[in-house]
Amino acid sequence: MTDVNVTTEENSLNIPKNYLNNDVGLGRGVYISTYGCQMNVNDTERMHSLLEMANFSPVQTPEEASLIIINACSVREKPVHKVYSEVGTFKKLKEKNPGLKIGVGGCVGQQEKENLIKNQPLIDFVFGTDNIDNLPNLVSQVFETGTKAVNAKFEHRAPYHVETLVRNPGVSTFVNITKGCDNFCTFCIVPYTRGREKSRPLSHILLDVRTLIQRGVKEVTLLGQNVNSYKSEDGHDFADLLKKVALETDIERIRYTTSHPKDFNEKLMHVMADHQDKICEYVHLPFQAGSTKILERMNRNYTREEYIAKINQMKKIIPNLVLSTDIIVGFPGETEEDFNDTVSMVEEVGYETIFAFMYSPRPFTKAAKFEDQVAEEVKNRRLNYLFDVHDKLAFELVAKYKDQTLNVLVESVNEQGKAFGRSTQNKSVYFLGSNDLIGKTVPVRIMTATPNVLRGELVQ
Ligand code: SAH
Ligand code: SF4
Ligand code: F3S
């Protein structure tokens, strides 16, 4: 292909700035298809906000769009194939409307760069995870010149300045505090797709939260791949940040995700306990595997015993702590015995929610090259077994909520008067309520409790 304007790590950024045309979107609709974690979901919001400044309007279906973007995740299973097959479904649309432009971003864009365009000619442009703010410029270029473009260069030297861009923040919103990851767990592609770890300046985060409060936000979730390694330019750590958000803003509720067990320290536990009026008692603490041998091969930097000791300490310090976790089954070299260690960990700790996945070899990662890969049917069997064990446990664990009165922050109420909100324990709660409750924290008495949903009634 001759007309690919490549701007990757190996090629310097060469998009002429004069392409930036704020009106390029006039009369054009944009449809963004999003996969992956909260980072990607938040990035999609950012893309919509930036494209709105270039006068694109969001549309609900690809059929209505002049611009389609796939914001793809590459953490597991054949993500590139998923992108190609989704793009394939747009073939007829492109035949009908040759002006339609298709772009790919997110972690797959970062990982594959120009390969995507080479392998799927329906794709017009690709952009990386550090290049979102350049999206209006890139899109202008693609529409105005009709050439293909790739912009997937990590901005290693640029500071991490990303004030939250969200169109309708609603009651609860995400605030990025760190980007990237330097941990290099041997199974994980994130350090390659999100680059080196960087923290936002503390003052920017506080300002962001205050601005969101003015827009009606009551709850923020501080977001990063490994929030506990947050480090501000003047030496404040994550516990300091959390305390400052609690004390120096009027936010009602604070959550955060994701924590790394090796960096979760006692100081943070005390900050959570001391500010429980604002900081929710729910912690997502991925353990990945219950066997120390496997943890070592994963490069997680903690043993089973260290993890359990930390959990016990947390349970002591943080009243009513609620836990969830991420687990990988069938990591290379995992024996039945190792797997049983994972099952017993789930039982011993008592997670109300688990996110468990079959190990999937990822490009660039060390574990993909390990020779003792586990057969697919074994991984499958182990995963199903783990879910069966956890399902039973989860029903037992949530039974305690029946007849309890929980404080629910109401996020929405539908036309039938069904109100939805979350409790501080991060439980989804449904009850009958009216529109004026949106944004308010109300007491709800729980009548039925299942692992994913609690149903109750408003305490008048
Ligand atoms: N930063 C977070 C995890 C981000 S990725 C942490 O360290 O906990 C989200 C989850 O995807 C991981 O916790 C892990 O359970 C899962 N995951 C990552 N790479 C994977 C792979 N190659 N195969 C299967 N699951 C994977
Ligand atoms: Fe991936 Fe490990 Fe970093 Fe989490 S801490 S993003 S699992 S490398
Ligand atoms: Fe996926 Fe990238 Fe998130 S790989 S899980 S979208 S950081």
Report whether residue 362 contacts ligand 1, using a CB cutoff of 6 Å.
yes
CA distances from 46 to 129, 151, 349 (A): 12, 17, 37
> Crossing angle, helix 336-349 and helix 304-317, to 10 degrees?
10
Report whether residue 132 contacts ligand 1, using a CB cutoff of 6 Å.
no
**What distance in angstroms lies between residue 75's CA and the mean position of ligand 1's atoms?**
7
Read off the pLDDT of each residue in 438-450 and give the average, rounded to a whole number. Answer: 97
Convert the pLDDT of each residue in 176-210 to its tens digit: 999 999 999 999 999 999 999 999 999 999 999 99
pLDDT class for 164, splitting at 50, 70, 90? confident
Contact criterion met (CB below 8 Å) for 57 and 25: yes
Q: What is the pLDDT of residue 231?
A: 96
Please give all residues whose beta carbon lies within 6 A of any atom in ligand 3, as ranges: 36-37, 39-40, 73-75, 106-107, 189-190, 193-194
Tokens of 248: 């120096």
Report whether residue 261 contacts ligand 1, using a CB cutoff of 6 Å.
no
**What distance in angstroms lies between residue 196's CA and the mean position of ligand 2's atoms?**
12
Beta sheet of 322-329, edge-to-edge order? 282-284, 322-329, 353-358
Nearest CA to ligand 3 atom 7: 190
pLDDT at 18 over 80: no
**What distance in angstroms lies between residue 408's CA and the mean position of ligand 1's atoms?**
30
Tokens of 217: 């936000």
In three-state secondary structure terms, 83 is helix
Which strand (E) or helix (H) includes residue 57?
strand 57-58
Read off the pLDDT of each residue in 218-245 and give the average, rounded to a whole number. Answer: 96
Structural domains of the chain ordered from first start = 9-151 (3.40.50.2300), 169-280 (3.30.750.210), 282-401 (3.30.750.200), 402-458 (2.40.50.140)
Contact criterion met (CB below 8 Å) for 282 and 293: no
**What distance in angstroms lies between residue 286's CA and the mean position of ligand 2's atoms?**
10
CA–CA separation, 319 and 317 (whole Å): 6
Other CB atoms within a 10 A radius of the CB of residue 72 amount to: 25
Number of residues that this document lists for the chain: 460
pLDDT class for 172, splitting at 50, 70, 90? very high
Q: Where are the alpha helices (DSSP H) in 280-375?
A: 292-297, 304-317, 336-349
End-to-end CA distance of the chain: 67
In three-state secondary structure terms, 419 is strand
Nearest CA to ligand 2 atom 2: 185
Report whether residue 300 contacts ligand 1, using a CB cutoff of 6 Å.
no
Percentage of the residues of the chain whose pLDDT score is greater than 70: 95
